[in-house]
Amino acid sequence: IMADDKDVLRDVWFGRIPTCFTLNQDEVTEREAEPYYLLLPRVSYLTLVTDKVKKHFLKVMRAEDVEEMWFEYEGTPLKWHYPIGVLFDLHASNNVLPWSITVHFKNFPDHDLLHCPSNSVIEAHFMSSIKEADALKHKSQVVNDMQKKDHKQLWMGLQNDKFDQFWAMNRKLMEYPTEDGGFRYIPFRIYQTMSDRPFIQKLFRPVSPEGSAHSLGDLLKEMYPDAITNDGEQKRYQVVIHGIEPLLETPLQWLSEHLSHPDNFLHICVIPVPTD
């Protein structure tokens, strides 16, 4: 197996995206709003880590001009319930850094975005993803054996950026009987930029009926064959997880254990190769 596995988990957790937030020009301000720079954690959620951004822009605005804050990149409203790293890889990965995000305080796009009035909404979304993932991996046995405080530990670990606190509990969600060779099913989502459907998510086992380990390439062949470059073809797509393109031979079970987001899903972005 590649580099020390614990290092992989650490690299995933501490991945950051330098970001520049600017206020949308149509907002009414008392004086000029300076941009705000922040290193965004790839594994977190926009609405969870942007309190400072909000405070910064509220300094130049009147209370009556402020509604729910939302974010947009080059005309696309950013779905806060997708992990930050997924949003970046999907919409901006081939562009220069810092990532420039526009901040809005009015005209909330109801048909594109979920409302996020408080952190408890993020927590509920995060916990429901973890439960959905465990239903796929262990028929929900692990998450149901946990106590309320264990669930809270997962959430607080993410919210407060505490790697050890999170993984002390999350490793239980990554265990499986050795004889099974992996989870029951792999929790994954495949996103495409050029698609109206939000993502592809179907049942897929980490091990074939004959007992051989399925790879990332095997998953793509079944779910999104266009993403694979055949011999002699020009490469059309990049298959990106956490900003990197893993080898298609990589076992899916290993990826699920090491490159899943804290919500326990493997988020895979299929993006068109930039044409010059």
pLDDT tens-place string over residues 79-116: 999 999 999 999 998 788 999 999 999 999 999 999 99
Give how far Cα 149 sits from Cα of 13, 41, 140, 158, Å.
22, 24, 17, 14
The model's pLDDT over 142-184, given as tens digits with 9 standing for 90+, comes to: 999 999 999 999 999 999 999 999 999 999 999 998 888 899 9
The model's pLDDT over 18-37, given as tens digits with 9 standing for 90+, comes to: 999 999 988 878 888 999 99
pLDDT at residue 276, as a whole number: 65
pLDDT at residue 3, as a whole number: 53
Q: Are the CB atoms for 193 and 240 separated by under 8 Å? A: no
pLDDT (average), residues 176-197: 88
pLDDT at residue 1, as a whole number: 43
What confidence tier does 42 reach under pLDDT thresholds 50, 70, 90? very high
SS3 213: strand
Other beta carbons less than 10 A from residue 52's beta carbon: 11
The model's pLDDT over 45-79, given as tens digits with 9 standing for 90+, comes to: 999 999 999 999 999 988 888 889 999 999 999 99
pLDDT at residue 230, as a whole number: 84
CA atoms of 98 and 74, how far apart (whole Å): 14
pLDDT at residue 198, as a whole number: 80
Residue 31: which residues within 8 A CB-CB, separation 6 or more? Answer: 60
pLDDT (average), residues 197-225: 93
What confidence tier does 139 reach under pLDDT thresholds 50, 70, 90? very high
CA atoms of 185 and 202, how far apart (whole Å): 9
Helix, strand, coil percentages (3-state) for the chain, rounded to 5, are 35, 20, 45
- Mean pLDDT of the residues in the chain: 92
pLDDT at residue 29, as a whole number: 81
Other beta carbons less than 10 A from residue 237's beta carbon: 20
CA atoms of 164 and 187, how far apart (whole Å): 23
pTM tops 0.85: yes
CA atoms of 215 and 250, how far apart (whole Å): 5
Q: Cα-flanking dihedrals φ and ψ of residue 137, to 5°?
A: -80, -45
- Name the packing angle between helices 119-138 and 163-173 (round to 10°): 30
Task: State yes or no: cis peptide before 98, omega within 30 of 0.
Answer: yes
pLDDT (average), residues 256-263: 96
CA atoms of 201 and 84, how far apart (whole Å): 19
Residue 117: which residues within 8 A CB-CB, separation 6 or more? Answer: 68
Start-to-end C-alpha separation, the chain = 36
Q: What is the DSSP letter of 59?
A: T
